[in-house]
A and B are shown apart, each in its own frame.
Chain A
Amino acid sequence: MIKVEHLVKKYGDRYAVNDISFEVRKGEIVGFLGPNGAGKTTTLNILTGYLSSTSGKAMVDGMDILEHPMEVKKKIGFLPEQPPLYLDMTVREYLNFIYDLRKCKLNRKEHIAEIIRVVKLEGTENRMIKNLSKGYRQRTGIAGAIVGNPEVIIFDEPTNGLDPKQIIDIRNLIKELGRDHTVILSTHILSEVKSICDRILIINEGKIVADQITGDISKNYHGNRRVSVRVEGPSSAVLAEMKKLPGVVYSRIGAEYSDGSASYLLESREDVDLRKPLFFMLAKHSWPILSLELPGANLEDVFIAALDEENAEEGNTNPGKAKNKGGK
């Protein structure tokens, strides 16, 4: 559906986007993840035709955005980082304006009513946008992006600045839209891509440093397997015994609780399953297990690892930026 080939964008001597290539298949939800200033917004702006690339190609449905701007723009709904809202309009007027702007052919009344329902803007349709809260403004922006039912929807940091409840609502909304649209989402929040996206592209300093299925990333990235366990017993003795288990490469106490228990984080080599030996060892000492989890690698680790890998490839390894295995 979307194909980007060797995209480059230079501002003066600085590369905002440096030779990026990727593909997004129809119906996928792809997360664009990277620190601020990594080139996410620039890439999305090129895809939507707001900016032009210095070189390279961006194609939607086989059509180059520079050669067929009108056709491509019709296929894309875009929510920029700051929602492009006319504050002096009501929500309904705004959606009607976009309906006209995009020369939409669907039944106006039904389509706009449907959007208002999907985005949960009922009750605010006739309010001025300037009087809406940030969460509702964001919803109005999303509503604007889906007017005309575009095949591709692009969201640039859609949950930026929202409160936790609004963040969950917007994420659910995006997931729902992802059922029958191709969605690209940019964010610097790792848990966001994990909860929404099928695939994740990690971008840093204008380059793609990782491109994987979201599930695979958290399962396999490090190779090491993790166990998080809460045990009742003398913590230093428990930890000392844990260290002796075969295959353990890392162990530490997470938190100690007032009931005399403590949580521990263990990492073993990929070929070792720690759960059984751990159980028998604790049972032998009569230290009861209160809970046991397999957290897997988290995306923070993945992200830092991907950046480190990239740096290492460039012969620019920085020992201070070692993998943060003990992370949360």
Chain B
Amino acid sequence: MKKIFLLSLMSAFLFVACKKDKDETEESNPGVTNPSSEYKLIEKDTTDNDLIVELYAENETLEMGYTPVYVKVENLNGDLVENAMVSFMPMMDMGMMQHTTPTVQPIYNSTSGYYEGVIVFVMSSSQGAWDIEIMVDGEAATMDLNVLGAPAGEKHVGSYVGTNGDSYFVSIVKPLDWSVGMNDVSFMVHKRESMMSFPVVEGLTIAMDPQMTSMGHGSPNNISPVSVGDGFYEGEVNFTMTGDWRLNLDLIDAGDTIVNANIDVLF
């Protein structure tokens, strides 16, 4: 009898041990960095110098906001073209006017074989027609793009007119991979100089205040993002629970709050 009980106790211990193992395997497989083979093809085009240019993204569809994109260049034999001169220029055609959007120009990654850059889509295709011109060694490939809005209840980029009259664009850096608790978070800030130029804004101070809007509470211990160069701002955000979170971001320049931005996320 005693033995049976001991056995059941031991098996209970084993059960606990197994559970732990499972957690650890989950931990070692975070799924943050997608292998390059999992990039999804968005569009392709062939340039006049017979290069096949393919545009990839993390997902099959493009969404408003910060969007990492991957350009693959092959010749007609299917060989990868490395270290070409690659740049891109997305354009929004709203009929009355045309403008570009903030970008991080592509840089070749010899490990993945892709030219990796970022496009911050500040509008969706419902507001006009998006296309992109990708220049490879002086020749252009052109593609139409379909950009969806953010998922319901979310907002990943916002445009604001600052108190100084300039237009600012604040976007949250993706991929978004949230868990309850403390999370690394980064943002990009751009401004519009002209329809064709959206340079980064560095050196601002940002005050961040996350709010759970449906309950009216915030969270403690957040670290407001600080400028780390190239228009990026890095901080830490504390999500005490899952649900709809609004990140209130005050952009402060020389002591004056010039923009009250907000980003909405849901997880």
Are these two chains actual partners, yes or no?
no
Interface residues in chain B, defined as those with a beta carbon under 8 Å from any beta carbon in chain A: none
